[in-house]
Amino acid sequence: MRLSAEPFVVKLDGHLTRAQLDETLGTLGEQIASVGLATVILDCSEMGGYDLDARHAFVDWNKRWRDQVVRVAIVTDNRLYHVVVATMSLAAGQAMKAFSSRSEAETWARTGL
């Protein structure tokens, strides 16, 4: 499998529902499948909140895609989300980390490419 030269970047804003996340991750999955291996940056810096079932769906998606997604970097200023991301990383068995800035997330996502 070949690794995408650049991370896939997805921007999430407002209040995230499972339906919105399913649509976004469906498109992302198609893009990842077309390249084989990828890193992902989720920019949640303008996201106000999320439904609990959206979080569960995200963990499930990461479990399904962890063999093709090398790393998931999440951008958020919300310190509580940093703790949630660490927990989701453990639950999904995925290399996933939260960052306060997009540049930090990009640097980490590109590590090892």
Q: Give the chain's domain count.
A: 1
pLDDT for residue 68? 95
Rounded to 5°, the CA angle 55-59-62 comes to: 135
Q: Which domain holds residue 55?
A: 2-110
- Cβ atoms of residues 108 and 40 within 8 Å: no
Rounded average pLDDT over 81-110: 94
Strands 36-50 and 2-3: parallel
Q: How far apart are CA 101 and CA 36, in angstroms?
A: 27
Q: Are 62 and 95 in contact (CB under 8 A)?
A: no
What average pLDDT does the segment 80-103 reach? 94
For residues 83 and 5, the model is more confident at 83
pLDDT in tens, 38-66: 999 999 999 999 999 999 999 999 999 99
Domain of residue 68, CATH code = 3.30.750.24
